[in-house]
């Protein structure tokens, strides 16, 4: 692979043509990582919003906490069986990150499902996007050029949510804003976890933590709604969200900067709006089309500017590894 060959170019004379060619290859490798990361992030959005749309009817009948709990329980069980995270060593730091990520994941999931029961899917998703937008504004490493894409995405969110009209469910808005705060933490912790642990091991620990947290907090409200039909539907919902999207997001965050990923997530309200119109029959206002254009432009700009180079990812992993305490191996 080009990215691997670049390591051998460090002995090339910087005054000769090899230095220029090596620089071009490094930039191309970075752009390739950005494109792959972008594709993963977009696929994650589509699966997440399909899962959200499918969750609404079940949540209205069985309760938002029941749907959240089922999705987390089944996704956690699947990852533990497939990944078997105990087969590799963990550090105290990586375990701490996974614990924090698990709690954040549970809070984000439960609050967002509670929000979409009360708000249109596009509106709830746009409000939740304020979390990634905050990450993009505060952590974008490429200065005002990068932040300008976040501002374009913010304009799109305003057009999609049209807060000037009023009449929006206040409790639903509060749930969505809480989910936004949790999503901001999720992005930061997911990238840290992806840098510290290989493959999907971070998710195979954090999702069981999320399932346990949701059991403790929502368990008493869940059990009376369980039935064979609800359990079967919950299994399908867990595949759509969070199993596939969270896995894709973790892999995407290995290839994109956190700020660029946050800006790219501005596309998600547009995805939610389209799915809400097609699958749920929710209305599409004319100015929402302009909002869709804004968020798509912001996402395209972030995708082009936000690639994490392979060297940058390795440097992050090396920095994390050198700061860690001795590994805590989990018994097989």
Residue 325, pLDDT score: 38
12 domain-assigned: no
7 domain-assigned: no
pLDDT higher than threshold 90 for residue 116: yes
In which band, very low, low, confident or very high, does the pLDDT at 27 lie, cut at 50, 70 and 90?
confident
DSSP 48-83: HHHHHHHHHHHHHHH-HHHHHHHHHHHHHHHHHHHH
Structure tokens at 286: 């004319």
* More confident: 172 or 27: 172
97 domain-assigned: yes
DSSP state at residue 90: E
* More confident: 87 or 119: 119
In which band, very low, low, confident or very high, does the pLDDT at 115 lie, cut at 50, 70 and 90?
very high
CA 111 to CA 169: how far, in whole Å?
14
Classify residue 183 by burial, with Cβ atoms within 10 Å: 0-12, 13-18, 19+: buried
End-to-end distance of the chain based on CA atoms, in angstroms?
34
Please tell me the least confidently modeled range out of 90-94, 96-100, 255-259: 255-259
288 domain-assigned: yes
Give the chain's domain count: 1
298 domain-assigned: yes
* More confident: 75 or 135: 75
Give me the residues paired with residue 55 across strands: none
Q: What are the pLDDT digits (tens) for 3-12?
A: 433 334 444 4
Mean pLDDT, to the nearest integer, of 4-22? 48
CA 299 to CA 267: how far, in whole Å?
6
Nearest to 192 by CA among 212, 213, 206: 206
Residue 284 main-chain phi, psi, to 5 deg: -120, 110
pLDDT higher than threshold 80 for residue 155: yes
8 domain-assigned: no
Residue 140, pLDDT score: 56
Note the residue count of the chain: 332
Cβ pair 242, 105 in contact under 8 A: yes
6 domain-assigned: no
Residue 69, pLDDT score: 92
Structure pTM? Answer: 0.75
Mean pLDDT, to the nearest integer, of 179-188? 92
Residue 6, pLDDT score: 36
Residue 312, pLDDT score: 52
- Write the Ramachandran bin of 59: left for phi over 0, alpha for psi from -120 to 50, otherwise beta: alpha
Please tell me the least confidently modeled range out of 130-144, 147-161, 270-284: 130-144
- The helix/strand/coil state of 89 is strand
In which band, very low, low, confident or very high, does the pLDDT at 109 lie, cut at 50, 70 and 90?
very high
pLDDT higher than threshold 80 for residue 314: no
CA 100 to CA 104: how far, in whole Å?
6
pLDDT higher than threshold 90 for residue 97: yes
Structure tokens at 261: 């990923």
Residue 70, pLDDT score: 92
Cβ pair 179, 111 in contact under 8 A: yes
Residue 331, pLDDT score: 32
Neighbours of 137 (CB within 10 A): 17
pLDDT higher than threshold 70 for residue 74: yes
Cβ pair 198, 31 in contact under 8 A: no
Mean pLDDT of the chain: 79
pLDDT higher than threshold 60 for residue 310: no
Cβ pair 18, 12 in contact under 8 A: yes
The angle formed by the CA atoms of residues 38, 43 and 46, to the nearest 5 degrees, is 130
Please tell me the least confidently modeled range out of 160-174, 198-212, 245-259: 160-174
Domain enclosing residue 45, as ranges: 23-327
Residue 252, pLDDT score: 87
CA 7 to CA 18: how far, in whole Å?
13
Alpha helices in 129-224 (DSSP H): 130-139, 143-161, 170-196, 201-222
pLDDT higher than threshold 60 for residue 227: yes
Cβ pair 34, 76 in contact under 8 A: no
240 domain-assigned: yes
Q: In the chain, which ranges are E strands?
A: 89-90, 328-329
Structure tokens at 44: 């994650």
The angle formed by the CA atoms of residues 152, 155 and 157, to the nearest 5 degrees, is 115
Nearest to 122 by CA among 307, 291, 318: 291
Neighbours of 271 (CB within 10 A): 24
């Amino acid at each position: 692979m080009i990215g691997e060959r670049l390591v051998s170019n460090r002995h090339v004379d910087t005054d000769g043509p090899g230095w220029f060619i090596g620089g071009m290859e490094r930039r191309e490798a970075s752009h390739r990582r950005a494109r792959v990361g972008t594709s993963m992030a977009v696929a994650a959005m589509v699966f997440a919003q399909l899962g959200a749309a499918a969750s609404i009817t079940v949540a209205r009948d069985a309760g938002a906490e029941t749907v959240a709990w089922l999705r987390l329980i089944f996704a956690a069980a699947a990852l533990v069986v497939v990944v078997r995270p105990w087969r590799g060593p963990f550090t105290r730091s990586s375990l701490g990150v996974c614990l924090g990520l698990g709690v954040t994941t549970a809070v984000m999931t439960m609050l967002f499902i509670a929000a979409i029961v009360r708000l249109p899917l596009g509106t709830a998703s746009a409000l939740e996007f304020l979390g990634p937008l905050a990450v993009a504004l505060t952590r974008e490493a490429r200065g005002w050029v990068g932040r300008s894409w976040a501002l374009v995405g913010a304009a799109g969110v305003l057009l999609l949510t049209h807060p000037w009209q009023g009449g929006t469910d206040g409790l639903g808005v509060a749930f969505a804003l809480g989910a936004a705060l949790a999503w901001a933490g999720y992005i930061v912790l997911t990238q840290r976890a992806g840098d510290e642990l290989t493959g999907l091991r971070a998710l195979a620990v954090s999702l069981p933590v999320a399932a346990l947290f949701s059991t403790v907090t929502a368990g008493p409200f869940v059990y009376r709604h369980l039935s064979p039909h609800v359990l079967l539907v919950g299994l399908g919902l867990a595949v759509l969200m969070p199993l596939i999207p969270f896995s894709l997001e973790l892999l995407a965050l290995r290839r994109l900067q956190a700020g660029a990923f946050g800006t790219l997530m501005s596309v998600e309200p547009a995805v939610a709006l389209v799915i809400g119109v097609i699958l749920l029959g929710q209305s599409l206002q004319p100015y929402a089309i302009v909002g869709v254009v804004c968020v798509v432009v912001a996402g395209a700009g972030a995708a082009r500017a936000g690639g994490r180079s392979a060297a940058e990812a390795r440097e992050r992993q090396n920095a994390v590894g050198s700061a860690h305490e001795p590994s805590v191996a989990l018994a097989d």
